[in-house]
Amino acid sequence: MSRAELSVFIRSLGVHAPDRKLTNTELSAMVETSDEWIKSRSGISERRIAGAGENPSDMGAQAAAKALARAGLTPADIDLLIVATMTPDVPFPSTACLLQAKLGLRRDIPCFDISAACSGFVYALQVGTDMLRSGNYRRALVIGAEKLSSVVDWQDRATCVLFGDGAGAAILETTATPDVGVLGNLLGADGVNAELLHCVAGGSAQPASEQTLRDRQHFLRMNGKEVFKLAVRVMADSCERVLKGCGKHSDDVAWFIPHQANIRIVEAVADQLQVGLDRFPINLDRYGNTSAASIPLALEEAWTAGRIKHGDLVLLVAFGAGLTWGATLLRWHEPSP
């Protein structure tokens, strides 16, 4: 079957979030903040925090196992593994290779990480889709897994209130059915603005040292005001461009699944697209910003709740450090048993 004849759709989803919930009230005992202050600026009420021994590969394995079980598949059925993360278990090997071993996937398949921060899942979807359309693979496991609590400065109230941990997994599969699954996608980046959301130390440019530890340079740093403005503009533009490329309009879309960073960003994007907020499933109030895990967590929740139906147009859109952004338009496909 040729590349042009293949459609790629999401056959199954699975998610995992740590058991521990950190509420705004609990945070107010750690830094100078309050439940009202956090909610009014972000919409977040609580977030999940992973334990000391609970790593992105562990959370990703839990999410993937659920997706496999729902699809009635085994690890042997997976031909490709892509993990989106900005908080890998270790600098190397890849978290994907660690996950391959934990899941018991075949030992001859390609496994690799993608680092695009909060846009990571959308990036991984496009890479996975294109690799499946090559005809060399049948099924791909795409995972977004993050332990942001490990890179958050818990003394910085501007950032520590925003982030949480979790993982989401999607099984991509090819089909000869036309006009289903991934209809179009768009990715972009602007490295000129990299310092708006970054981590200074820990890489080869500034390896860990006593000085970098004293200066707290291993934690996430963000210019929230500038990130907000760019996020709204680029997310709205990405939606419009991918819809135009597919010959669709925002009115055709049943559900917009945005990166769950901040309710004010989502509201502003909805306003620019002239779309009601009721078509944007929101769960950031309970999870906070989980970066690459954000979209699969929200997508799975909407799907399992029965909100997303067969044939619906679903638009995923994200923005993250890099700066990166991306959008993917799907026609939701539920294959016959």
Confidence at residue 336, expressed as pLDDT on a 0 to 100 scale? 73
Q: State the CATH architecture for 3-178.
A: 3-Layer(aba) Sandwich (3.40)
Which one of 3.40.50.300, 3.40.47.10, 2.40.110.10, 3.40.50.1820 gives the CATH number of domain 182-331?
3.40.47.10
Percent of the chain with pLDDT over 90: 98
Cα–Cα distance for residue pair 281/326, rounded to 1 Å: 18
CA dihedral 300, 301, 305, 307 (to 10 degrees): -80
Catalytic (active-site) positions = 118, 259, 289
For the entire predicted model, the pTM comes to: 0.97
Assigned token pair, 175: 């089909």
Q: How many CB atoms lie within 10 A of CB 255?
A: 22
Q: What is the pLDDT of residues 241-285, one digit of tens each?
A: 999 999 999 999 999 999 999 999 999 999 999 999 999 999 999
- The answer to whether 3-178 and 182-331 have equal CATH topology is yes
Q: What is the pLDDT of residues 22-49, one digit of tens each?
A: 999 999 999 999 999 999 999 999 999 9
Residue 3's pLDDT band, with cuts at 50, 70 and 90, is low
Confidence at residue 4, expressed as pLDDT on a 0 to 100 scale? 55
Cα–Cα distance for residue pair 242/245, rounded to 1 Å: 5
Confidence at residue 5, expressed as pLDDT on a 0 to 100 scale? 75
**Domain residue spans in the chain?**
3-178, 182-331
The one-letter amino acid code at 187 reads L
Q: Three-state DSSP class for 47?
A: strand
Rounded alpha-carbon distances, angstroms, from residue 159 to 164, 172, 224, 262, 288: 11, 34, 8, 12, 11
Residue 54's pLDDT band, with cuts at 50, 70 and 90, is very high
> 261 and 319 in contact (C-beta within 8 Å)?
yes
Mean pLDDT, residues 296-303 taken together: 98
**Nearest-5° Cα angle at 150, 147 to 151:** 105
Residue 1's pLDDT band, with cuts at 50, 70 and 90, is very low
Confidence at residue 165, expressed as pLDDT on a 0 to 100 scale? 98
